[in-house]
Amino acid sequence: MNLKFVELFDLPIAVCNEEELIEYIVQRINNRQKTFAVSANASIMVRACENELYKAAVKSADLIFPDGSGVVWAIKKLYDEKAFRITGIDTMLKLCKLSPVYGWKVFLLGARQEVVEKAAKNLSQKYGAIICGYHHGYFNGPGPIEMINESKADIIFVGMGVPKQELWIKENFFKTTAVFAMGVGGSFDVIGEKKKRAPEWIQKAKLEWLYRFLQSPLEKKNVPGDVLKFLILVHKYRNLK
């Protein structure tokens, strides 16, 4: 199947619903097509506009989809297209649930050792994921490439935050035998029960970014500014169209 894309800040963003996205990813994994996916929120879009190295990493992705109500709003504002917010963590969980159906092996890379270990255990026990290995995100250089290849992973979820996770995937994904890689930010902290995800009513109010900021104000100190910068960028981009 093919997805529709629109251009936002010189980046192609998929316009689809969650079901279509998962079907597209499943098809690519089963066809053994290398796929680097980015779940784009306002912070990622702003960082890409401010940092050419990071933008090159995101632009090298095979799939960018809207993980953030701001990106969904921008697509509606600029193109009058109905986009859907599809979160990275939900995409990850759906693929983990499908891993035993298709026999995919999943490797987790990122967070602290005790957190990623707990996330691996929970994904296996609660979602039936075939976890073939995991490694913390505190390393220099390419990291555990040999370990990933020895695990025969099909999927790598990288939870090292922006911009590190996308830069790592761009530089190292093709050194692995895996066919799908995606940055998942702080998802291991949530799945590993270190942090709580925003309640559903906050998600529906489009304030999940604020909830994450209030949980970790030092770690997420740039988020409020990124939201404001994103609104300004959309306004400028609209005037240029």
Residue 154 bridge partners (DSSP): none
**199 assigned to some structural domain:** no
Q: Is residue 136 part of a domain?
A: yes
In a domain, 231, yes or no: no
Please, where are the H alpha helices in the chain?
A: 18-30, 42-50, 52-59, 69-79, 88-102, 113-127, 145-150, 164-172, 187-191, 200-204, 208-215, 223-240
Identify the domain containing residue 45 by its residue range: 4-192
Residue 129 within any structural domain of the chain: yes
Question: What mean pLDDT value characterizes the chain?
Answer: 90
Whether residue 105 is contained in a domain is answered as yes
Residue 203 lies in a domain: no
Q: Residue 149: inside a domain, yes or no?
A: yes
Is residue 47 within 8 A of residue 95, CB to CB? The reply is no
Is the peptide bond preceding residue 163 cis, with omega within 30 degrees of 0?
Answer: yes
Give the angle subtended at the CA of 28 by the CAs of 24 and 29, to the nearest 5°.
Answer: 115
pTM summary value: 0.89
Instruction: Please write the tens of the pLDDT for every residue from 36-86.
Output: 999 999 999 999 999 999 999 999 999 999 998 899 999 999 999 999 999
Number of domains composing the chain:
1
- Report the distance separating Cα 48 and Cα 127, nearest Å: 33
Other Cβ atoms within 10 Å of 232 Cβ, number: 10
Q: Classify residue 241: in a domain, yes or no.
A: no
How confident is the model at residue 88, as a pLDDT?
95
